[in-house]
Amino acid sequence: MTWLAGAAAVAALTFDVDAESPILAQGGHYAEHLTTMSHQSYGPDVGVPRILDLLDDLEVPATFFVPGWVAEQRPGLAANIVERGHEVAHHSYSHRPPTSLTGAEERNDFERALAVFESQGITVSGHRAALWEASPQTPGLVAEHGLLYDSSLMGDDRPYLLSAGGVVELPVHWSLDDWEQYAYLPAPQIGSVIESPRKVLELWKAELDGMRFYHCLFTLCLHPFLSGRPGRLLALRELIEYAQNRGDVEFARCRDLAVRASADDSVAVRPVSPVVVDPSVYP
């Protein structure tokens, strides 16, 4: 498994810089909810600068998935992330999940994000579906537009190919996402319990150790509006230091990982064609 480059596990730190987009995707009228909007703008305004400093401090690279709409609203945001040595990747235009869109709407949204990044001089090499809700046509859009990888599926915990020689999947998982641990809003409801950073650290350390045992890809997904809070950042710092102190975990940008996985013959091909369903069994 050359994609591991000799490590027991590889950690891909990824940040979804969603800002207001996932809330507005649930209804444009939430723009009038001032507290909710401020809860979201905290991400790029307060969280991202602290995260960039933390990554500098610990000398680890990361990948930032940015919706095109967010990049458009905050013109310097994506460029600044790139300047600091990190990767910016495609995270839809509007953060509306592909499973809620028609084929034409998804294509339009996908291409509109590419146009934003092109206009800002940002090269993107990979894609993550909004809400991790890829549709049957999503992998085809990724391939058609020449991107190297997708990071929205959960069919393995190691990189895999969506077709022989084709797009690399860098899989995610709900248990390595900060949303289920930290998110709370009364309207729209986006979570019910706010966990302690100590519990979250325990959960992620357990998964990291399991992944060192099984030689996996630890794709951590963090949202600056959630993990940018002070106590959570200290826990993230502790997690990264824990991984560094193990001595067998490598940190890598998604783009670099995709290149390595593409060149590794041991990487599995897993078909993504949707299950064929008999409507008399599953209406």
Site for a copy of itself in 153-182 (CB under 8 A): 153-157, 171, 173-175, 180-182
Q: Is 147 left (phi over 0), alpha (psi -120 to 50) or beta?
A: beta
Give CA–CA dist 52/39, Å, rounded: 20
- Does residue 129 interact with a copy of itself by CB under 8 A? yes
Neighbouring CB atoms inside 10 A of 54's CB total 17
Q: How far is the CB of 160 from a copy of itself (least distance, A)?
A: 10
Q: Backbone phi, then psi, for 258, in 5-degree steps?
A: -60, -40
- Does residue 104 interact with a copy of itself by CB under 8 A? no
Task: Select from 178, 172, 173 the least CA-distant residue to 228.
Answer: 178
- Taking CB under 8 A as the criterion, the residue among 83, 118, 213, 263 binding a copy of itself is 213
- Taking CB under 8 A as the criterion, the residue among 77, 116, 134, 243 binding a copy of itself is 134
Neighbouring CB atoms inside 10 A of 223's CB total 22
Residues 263-282, one symbol each (x = binds a copy of itself by CB under 8 A, - = not), give -------x-x-xxxx-x-xx
- Does residue 209 interact with a copy of itself by CB under 8 A? yes
Residues 6-35, one symbol each (x = binds a copy of itself by CB under 8 A, - = not), give --------------x---xx-xx--xxxxx
- Taking CB under 8 A as the criterion, the residue among 216, 222, 254, 257 binding a copy of itself is 216
Task: Select from 164, 132, 165 the least CA-distant residue to 150.
Answer: 132
